Amino acid sequence: MKIKKVEIEAFRAYQSKLDSTFDFTNDRDEAANFVAIYAPNGFGKSSFYDAVEWAVTNRIKRLQGYQNEAKSTKNPDEGLKVLRNTCVDKNTPTSVILTTNDQKVFERNLPKIRKTQNDISLGERENDFFRHAILSQDEIEGFLREDNPQDRYTKFMESFGGDIETARKELSALINDNKYELNIIKKKRKSLQEELKQPIDVSIFKKFNSVATELNSLGENIVLPNEAISPQELHQLDESLVSRQHELNTSFNENNEILESLSGRLSQIPEVKIHLGYQAKQKDRLAWLLKGIADANKYQGLLDSHEKCVEDQKQANVRLKKLIELVKSAGYFLKTESRIKEITKNKSALTEECSKLTADLAGFQESLKGLDQELKIYDEKASLLKGTLEGSDIAYAELSQNKPQRDVLSQKIANKQTEIQENKIRLEKLSGELGELSEVKVTSSSLLAGNVGVFIFEQEKIERIAKCHTELDLLRVHEKTLRATQKALIEQMDFHQKLISIGLDYLGIEPSNTCPLCTAPHLSPDELIGKVKSQNLESELSRENSNRIRESSSRQKELSDEIQKIIQQALEAQGYQLSSLRNKLNEVKVKLTKAEQEKAVFEDEFKKLENRNSELKKLVRGLPKQELLTRVEAELGQLSEKRLNLIKQQKKLTAEMQETTESLKSKRVELSQLESEMTTKKIDHVYVSVLAYLNENSIAVKDIKLHLGVKRSELESIVEEYKTLCESLVSQCHDLQQKMIADGTWVEISHLKKEKETLDVALSKSQTAVNAYYDSLKNIASISSEITLEQVQVIITTKAEECRVRSQKLKELMNGFKLLLELMVSFKPYIKHMSTQKELDALVCQLERRNKVDEKLEKEKSIIVSDHA
């Protein structure tokens, strides 16, 4: 692939595509076989190389290490621009188009970047194969700087060896790794062969099988191993033997425990016999105690019933006596009840009459109160009318005086309102100017653009800032050009320095009086070396360029200081104008506050005057003086007539009230006497007793005599029944006492109960011991509590003998399995020998594979080296 054309725009040192298009075709429109680009330092040779590399790979290797240095000069308001030319118009895109002889086009465009991005590493790396086709200046210098021949060869092969050298290195590494593994495998094979030389004993299988056969004859199922047994089968056999041995141990221990338990139960039989004999002996005594306690409880019940019967008989006699007293008091109660009813009827009539008289009296009082109110109203009206006549002259005179004063106050209020409006308009205007002036940011840009609003500043100084900025921009562009030239000169001087260094190294190795750089002859090699070392590599153009850069920087500082001085003057002018506006604003605020206060005073006086005029007009009813006099005299005459009529009505009502009050007093006295008589009769003891009995039994007054007669007969019958019952209970107690004396149980019941409790505890303990013995036998043999002790003894003896026989058999099996497990240990050397043999076979196969790999790798390496040569 050959490059035919390269078009560069806004990339590194290149600006316009018109001046940055490289066409490498000949007259036949074919790509040239060899192209050389020659130019002084700083004219874009490296930028051309960067453009080609960026177009194909989307990366520039030599600039990857300079990102941190570039960040130190980055503008914080925009992204880091390393690839883009910063002198072109912002609308010009950064692009490189590379066309090849096979019509393949590599086109790369640089997108816009954000503040936090840089344009060196946007997107993914592409076409890495192209890195092997480009030899950069940095790689050539790295090759020349290497002192070690091996390092220089490595550096050279990295640049020129390409994929072949990489493949050679990888094959060499694989060959070394394979040889290392071969050595390890051979050492291990030798070690395993030494182990296999150790002798092994195969007679162990006969010993094991003879013991296992004996155990199988006793009912076991043990596998008989031979020399072909595998480690897995041996492991399974070992597991089965250990498991069976554990089962036998468990069975042996359980059998011994059962045997010990049976022996213990057999030794407890005499003790159980004693408990059963004791229980049979104490059953008759317990029956005697139970009968004695039952008779004692029955006797106590009869005594309690007799006592209750006696008490009930006493209470019945008391009720009978009380009833006889009520029968005697019944006549007196009926007379008293009749009189109380008569008094109640009379009280009702008197109460009704008193209520009627009280209502009439209240009506009279209400009417009299209404008349008093009307008289009071008429008197107040008359007094008010007289006062109106007396004060009318003064009111009419004051109204005439207040009219001109009202007109003057109204005019003053209007004047103050006008003044307040003018001050508010002026205040708004000054506040707006102050806010606008405060928001103005005085900078060189705002002064030049004229965006200063109401701010006033000298036009001459603004024009001076514009001139300074113009000159400053020109100086910066000029300084940028000078610095680019200076950089190119420095790079050229570095290249010369490297050439001189290479020449001195050459002269140090091969002394000569002929310069290896310019081929000029000299008197001697030392003179040539001295002349080369004394060369001043800094050119006149470089010194002149440095002086111009210093002069430009000095002039830029002077212009920047002058601009800052003018801006400071503008800021001071802005501060002065702000202070002046604030003072004017405060003055207007003071005037406005004073005018509002004065207006408030005038309005207050005007309001007071209006209120006073309203009071005066209300006093004279808003009428002319003559009409007021006529109306007042007529009203006074009417009020006098009405007052006389009301006084007559008052006298009539007062007489009627006095008559009604006397009648009410007499009725109330009579009512009080009746209430006193009723109270006396109701608290009488005989009346209260009979009434309480009637209420308790819900009996009507008319049925009292009949009820008392019936109740008396019933109580007399009940008393007789209680008497008969008491005699019967006494007879039963006597008969039961004679029976208990005959049985020998006529003793204190507490002694009987105490003896019974003691006997119950003893029998319970004895039965618990017997039950516990039979319960313990259920876990060993199927024995119920209904079986006799003799049968139990026979069963336990038989079961114990069976356990002894089983124990002997288990012991023999356990010894056999123990011997087998001990023989299993002797299998380990044989199994180890078999395992080692298998491991050796696998190792031999692995060694053969490694040897084949080694032969293949050596063959591949030979082919690569021969092709490269």
pLDDT tens across 653-703, in order? 888 788 888 887 887 787 787 788 778 777 777 777 777 777 777 777 677
What integer pLDDT is reported at residue 91 of this predicted model? 84
* Pick from 141-145, 186-190, 267-271, 472-476: least confident: 141-145
* Pick from 106-110, 176-180, 225-229, 660-664: least confident: 225-229
Please report how the helices 704-743 and 685-697 are oriented relative to each other, as an axis angle in degrees rounded to 10: 70
In this predicted model, which residue has the larger pLDDT, 835 or 93?
A: 93
pLDDT band at 67 (very low <50, low <70, confident <90, very high): low
What integer pLDDT is reported at residue 96 of this predicted model? 93
What integer pLDDT is reported at residue 7 of this predicted model? 94
pLDDT above 70 as % of the chain: 81
Q: Is the pLDDT of residue 419 over 50?
A: yes
Sole residue written with tokens 């006074």: 636
Give SS3 for 70.
helix
Q: What is the average per-residue pLDDT within 837-846?
A: 83
* Pick from 40-54, 124-138, 490-504: least confident: 124-138
Q: Is the pLDDT of residue 239 over 80?
A: yes
Q: How far is CA 176 from CA 181, 530, 531, 853, in A?
A: 9, 52, 53, 12
What does R_g of the chain's alpha carbons equal in angstroms?
Answer: 71
Q: Is the pLDDT of residue 165 over 70?
A: no
Q: What is the average per-residue pLDDT within 718-737?
A: 79
Q: Is 203 exposed, middle or buried (0-12, 13-18, 19+ CB in 10 A)?
A: exposed
Phi-psi region of 515 (alpha: psi -120 to 50; beta: other; left: phi over 0): beta
Q: What is the average per-residue pLDDT within 263-279?
A: 74
Sole residue written with tokens 């002064």: 447
Residue 264 backbone phi and psi in degrees, to 5: -65, -40
Q: How far is C-alpha 149 from the geometric centre of its chain's CA atoms?
A: 68
118-145 burial: b if 16+ Cβ within 10 Å, else e: bbbeeeeeeeeeeeeeeebeebeeebee
* Pick from 156-170, 339-353, 743-757: least confident: 156-170
Both ends of the chain: CA-CA distance in Å?
24
Q: Are 216 and 813 in contact (CB under 8 A)?
A: no
User: Amino acid identity, residue 738?
Assistant: Q
In this predicted model, which residue has the larger pLDDT, 44 or 387?
A: 44
What integer pLDDT is reported at residue 6 of this predicted model? 92
What integer pLDDT is reported at residue 203 of this predicted model? 67
pLDDT band at 444 (very low <50, low <70, confident <90, very high): confident
* Pick from 232-241, 260-269, 444-453, 850-859: least confident: 444-453
Distance of alpha carbon 733 from alpha carbon 736, whole angstroms: 5
556-593 pLDDT, tens per residue? Answer: 888 888 888 888 887 887 788 788 888 888 888 888 88
* Pick from 121-135, 538-552, 581-595: least confident: 121-135
In this predicted model, which residue has the larger pLDDT, 457 or 526?
A: 526
Distance of alpha carbon 396 from alpha carbon 18, whole angstroms: 109
Q: What is the average per-residue pLDDT within 370-376?
A: 78
In this predicted model, which residue has the larger pLDDT, 568 or 313?
A: 568
Sole residue written with tokens 């004063």: 405
**Most confident range, picked from 3-7, 466-470, 748-752:** 3-7
Q: How many C-beta atoms surround the C-beta of residue 588 within 10 A? A: 20
Q: Is 33 exposed, middle or buried (0-12, 13-18, 19+ CB in 10 A)?
A: exposed
pLDDT band at 142 (very low <50, low <70, confident <90, very high): low
* Pick from 226-240, 246-260, 473-487: least confident: 226-240
Tokens of 428: 């708004």
**Most confident range, picked from 95-99, 198-202, 238-242, 766-770:** 95-99
Q: Is the pLDDT of residue 707 over 60?
A: yes
Q: Is the pLDDT of residue 161 over 50?
A: no
Distance of alpha carbon 260 from alpha carbon 799, whole angstroms: 11
Distance of alpha carbon 460 from alpha carbon 112, whole angstroms: 41
pTM exceeds 0.75 for this model: no
Phi-psi region of 698 (alpha: psi -120 to 50; beta: other; left: phi over 0): left
Side-by-side strand order, sheet with 94-100:
21-23, 3-9, 94-100, 105-110
Q: Is the pLDDT of residue 135 over 70?
A: no
* Pick from 267-271, 371-375, 536-540: least confident: 536-540
* Pick from 103-112, 286-295, 490-499, 672-681: least confident: 490-499
What integer pLDDT is reported at residue 411 of this predicted model? 85
Q: Mean pLDDT in the chain?
A: 76
Q: What is the average per-residue pLDDT within 395-408?
A: 74
Sole residue written with tokens 């002929």: 514
633-652 pLDDT, tens per residue? Answer: 777 677 777 777 877 877 88
What integer pLDDT is reported at residue 151 of this predicted model? 56
